[in-house]
Amino acid sequence: MKNRIDKTSLPTGVELLHDPALNKGTAFTEEERDALGLRGLLPPCVCTQDEQVMRALENFRRKPTNLEKYIFMAGLQVRNETLFYRVVMDHIEEMAPIIYTPTVGQACQEYGHIFRRPRGIFISAKDKGMVADLLRNWPHKEVRIIVVTDGERILGLGDLGANGMGIPVGKLALYTACAGVHPCLCLPVALDVGTDNEDLLNDPLYIGIQQRRVRGKAYDDLIEEFVTAAQEIFPHVLIQFEDFANINAFRLLQKYRARICTFDDDIQGTASVALAGLYSALRITGGKLETQKILFLGAGEAGLGIGNLVVSALVDEGLSEKDARTGCWFMDSKGLVVKSRTDLGQEKLTYAHDHEFLPDFLSAVESLRPTAIIGVCGKPKMFTRSVLEAMARFNERPIVFALSNPTSKAECTAEEAYGWTQGRAVFASGSPFDPVTVHGKTYVPGQGNNAYIFPGVGLGVITCGARRVTDEMFLIAARALAHEVSEADLKQGRIHPPLGKIRDISAVIAGAVAEVAYDQGLAAKPKPENVLAYVKSQMYEPKYESYV
């Protein structure tokens, strides 16, 4: 997986400089410049990669806004891929909020206006019957991971149509930066089935088809054609569904998970990172998972995904499924999910308990007295001062997860969570927040971002050649991630490890996931003597290779 350059068929001259996977810019040596027809096409100075990183960082840091920084990094990625990943890997805590959440949300909203050069494959509703041909246009033939979106529920921002391509591009950049999956194995795909966003339909610079969303059979037929074509052209590919709306996410996962190698990151990845956070939080509070009462604000794919994985964890620890579900309560847009309601879908019905109906979150908190609240509703400021003060009355160390992305959609800020609980909250958020000082003590909020989970899961799946992705893999990933949280992290209030350790963490998760695949008979490749060592040996490192 490390070295995938065919030196026998290298382009030369300007063509080489225009290939981001091969271009080294000013780092081409004197010998390479002579052999590859580059003399005169580059300034005479030969730079080291470290010097190029210095120049890139200088330019990056002088950009006045995060969106401008995003545009700069996107430009670097399409000019010099190796340098892009060197910069990102060496400065991951600075770069991740730019190339992914929260900045990617704004980038998607303005995608058509900042568009420079296409990345990935765009498949529109008008391409029915031609999807396989479109996928064959992709230059890399060994694709192992596809991240695909239809753009209907981009983060907490809603329907962004074809502009949602920023999400697969960003996710796959994290696959490489966080888990060492070689860039040529990654393919971002946007399924453009239209948009119901009026602003986009009226925007002359919108990059997608300007029609309302295709629904029903026509939609399902396009998804089926895409899945079938992807399996045909890239036989060992893992397909990650990303940012589909609730009406499609659960049913597509159920339809395809037993047939192909696939998972839905919003359902399963979010669940895994949240469960890891709960395990770590309990090391601070001293409780056990089986005694927690968790109240979810939001009963969509993220919330229900977390609930389902919590139940799986409790069943694995010896509880019955019925008893395990009693600790999970949900609030949707209409109020508390209870048995007396007649408007609940099957996914919510399994969590409908006997209780009076309560229309608002504060009354539910006051009545249920939960030990943990988890926000996945995509609406900001829903964890009000009254809610957080109530949580602090009931609990010595209330668990508060505000997981909605981007930052503008977080249910509360880190400052609010710590300030309104007198520093007693055990807090995590989906997007990063700065440290907060309360009563002389500084708390470092943990970031419960899926980037801790999906890169490692994907790396484990493709390293062992897993034919399916199972719930057990996400349960094991959660436990592996929680194990990486140190006592020093916990003393700072951090319930996820620092992002700077993400490559080592992803390797551990990948090894654990591969072990599950081997144990379940799902791995196509023979088991190495040391799974973790083999995983690490396969991780891509962005260093220039000699071409002569």
Q: Which residues are catalytic?
A: 100, 171
CB 545 within 8 A of CB 5: yes
Per-residue pLDDT at 2 exceeds 60: no
Condensed to tens digits (0 to 9), the pLDDT of residues 151-204 reads: 999 998 999 999 999 999 999 999 999 999 999 999 999 999 999 999 999 999
- Residue 446's pLDDT band, with cuts at 50, 70 and 90, is confident
Among 378, 427, 277, 374, which residue's Cα sits nearest to residue 435? Answer: 427
Reply yes or no on whether the pLDDT at 396 is more than 70. Answer: yes
Give percent above pLDDT 70 in the chain: 99
What CATH architecture is 48-260?
3-Layer(aba) Sandwich (3.40)
* Lowest-pLDDT range of 4-18, 49-63, 207-221, 241-255: 4-18
Mean pLDDT across 408-424: 97
Residue 486, SS3 per DSSP: coil
Instruction: Give CA 363 to chain center in angstroms.
Output: 33
pLDDT number for residue 122: 98
For tokens 């029915």, what's the residue?
Answer: 128
267-548, CATH topology level: Rossmann fold (3.40.50)
Q: Establish whether the linkage from the previous residue to 406 is cis, with ω within 30° of 0.
A: yes
Q: Is 164 exposed, middle or buried (0-12, 13-18, 19+ CB in 10 A)?
A: buried
Q: What angle do CA 515, 503, 265 make, to 5 degrees?
A: 65
Q: Read off the pLDDT of residues 29-79 as tens digits, 9 standing for 90 and up.
A: 999 999 999 999 999 999 999 999 999 999 999 999 999 999 999 999 999
Q: What is the pTM of this model?
A: 0.96
pLDDT value, residue 5: 66
Q: Are 284 and 292 in contact (CB under 8 A)?
A: no
Q: Is the pLDDT of residue 1 over 60?
A: no
**How high is the pLDDT of residue 9?**
82
Confidence of residue 488 (pLDDT cuts 50, 70, 90): very high
> In the prediction, which pLDDT does 516 show?
98
Pairing of strands 262-264, 335-336: unpaired
* CA 413 to centroid of chain Cα atoms: 21
**pLDDT confidence band for 346 (50 / 70 / 90):** confident
For residue 138, pLDDT beyond 80: yes
Percentage, residues of the chain above pLDDT 90: 97
Residues of the chain with CATH 3.40.50.10380: 48-260
The CATH 3.40.50.720 domain(s) of the chain lie at 267-548
Q: Which of 274, 279, 276 is nearest to 296 (CA)?
A: 274
When the pLDDT of each residue in the chain is averaged and rounded to a whole number, the result is 96
Alpha-carbon torsion (408, 412, 414, 415), positive or negative: positive
How do residues 271-280 score in pLDDT, each as one tens digit?
A: 999 999 999 9
